[in-house]
């Protein structure tokens, strides 16, 4: 299938040495400085290999963590200690005051702390607005939370939602949808937020007939994922986002599409992979849309005749085969993800270094 055909198909289906000179004396005096620098690095290194905050329906928060080699972890919220445990723990924190977003500091007895919140941002007008961070990289860093967000459509945001997003510091909105999608359901964002149209699929694609079987629908999604990697419109859109993320302060950045799962899903998959997050974790983040959108998807399918719902379901789902097809396209079209970073996302080595400096801790 050609690149142009993939892009057209996707449009309907989806409507990521220091040199020492001299004799012995200089080397002897350099050693203490080296040890001091290493000690400083060790003190900042985050020892957690896993950690997560999950808000519960009753207003409590479940916090889990693993920090091998640590003897004690203290959990702090709102300036006070709310729980503690050992190197591995699971606690439930209750009776905290209401907040737009409840943050926790996981403080180990050695090494750096983690600043985490529940990933989902609860809003009245969205179901899939969440933090893109909170994940550990393969080399032990963590992706900062409270910096970059991903979402579904924003047209149904309430005034209360807008006020909440303003307090959370939303600064720029990258709309990944087509022109017709934007016209039918224009974004609502807080005043002062910069709006950027980053149309992943383009607008020159004809409308195709609906797939007639579930298998055809699933194949349409696979082809759409490939187009997000190789289509010129997709490369231009994602390059715009990554250029801004690596060139300045990324705090308050949001990218979204209609369901927040496909075009948005690839944006997050590409970002997390570029930052060094393991593929398995990237997949978990991608598939989480099935959980966040479960109620909305179920309602949509229940409103259709059974035969029609069977065809629609693959287009409402996110599936491992969809995301995997995107990574397969990266290998086929570019040879490696490193090459895709440069040619597909417009990131050179210096920009990638800046991106990591802005978004990684530990």
Q: Catalytic residue positions?
A: 257
Distance CA 14, CA 259 (A): 9
At 291, list the tokens: 């959980």
How many residues make up the chain in this entry? 362
Closest CA to 182 of 237, 224, 132, 232: 237
Distance CA 155, CA 182 (A): 9
Distance CA 338, CA 49 (A): 25
Distance CA 285, CA 11 (A): 23
Element (H, E) at 340: helix 337-343
Distance CA 70, CA 67 (A): 6
CA distances from 118 to 73, 100, 129, 133, 141 (A): 19, 11, 12, 10, 19
Pairing of strands 50-55, 172-175: unpaired
Distance CA 203, CA 86 (A): 55
Element (H, E) at 116: strand 114-117
At 307, list the tokens: 């035969």
Distance CA 345, CA 339 (A): 9
At 29, list the tokens: 């005096």
């Amino acid at each position: 299938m050609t690149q142009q055909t993939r892009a057209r198909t996707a449009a309907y289906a989806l409507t990521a040495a220091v040199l020492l000179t001299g004799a012995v004396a200089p080397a002897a005096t350099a050693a203490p400085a080296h040890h001091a620098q290493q000690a400083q690095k060790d003190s900042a290194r985050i020892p957690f290999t896993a950690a997560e905050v999950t808000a519960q329906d009753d207003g409590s928060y479940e916090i889990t963590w693993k920090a091998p080699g640590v003897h004690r972890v203290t959990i702090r919220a709102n300036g006070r200690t709310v729980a503690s445990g050992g190197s591995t723990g699971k606690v439930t924190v209750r009776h905290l005051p209401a907040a737009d977003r409840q943050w926790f500091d996981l403080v180990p007895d050695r090494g750096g702390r983690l600043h985490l919140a529940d990933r989902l941002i609860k809003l009245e007008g969205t179901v899939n607005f969440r933090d893109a961070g909170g994940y550990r990289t393969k080399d032990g860093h963590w992706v900062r939370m409270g910096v970059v967000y991903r979402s579904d459509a924003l047209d149904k945001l309430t005034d209360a939602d807008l006020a909440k997003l303003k307090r959370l510091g939303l600064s720029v909105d990258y709309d990944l949808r087509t022109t017709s999608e934007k016209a039918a359901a224009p974004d609502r964002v807080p005043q002062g937020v910069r709006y950027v149209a980053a149309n992943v699929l383009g607008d020159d694609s004809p409308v195709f007939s609906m797939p007639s079987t579930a298998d055809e629908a699933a194949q349409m999604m696979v082809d759409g994922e490939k187009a997000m990697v190789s289509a010129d419109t997709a490369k231009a859109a994602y390059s715009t986002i990554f250029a801004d993320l690596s060139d300045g302060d990324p705090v308050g950045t949001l990218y979204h599409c209609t369901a927040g799962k496909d075009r948005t899903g690839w944006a997050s998959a590409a970002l997390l992979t570029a930052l060094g997050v393991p593929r398995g974790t990237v997949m978990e983040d991608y598939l989480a849309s099935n959980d966040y959108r479960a109620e909305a998807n179920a309602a949509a399918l229940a409103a259709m005749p059974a035969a029609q719902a069977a065809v629609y379901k693959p287009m409402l789902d996110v599936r491992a085969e969809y995301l995997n097809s995107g990574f397969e396209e990266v290998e086929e079209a570019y040879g490696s993800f490193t090459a895709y970073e440069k040619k597909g996302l417009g990131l050179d080595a210096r920009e990638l270094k800046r991106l990591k400096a802005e978004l990684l801790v530990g």
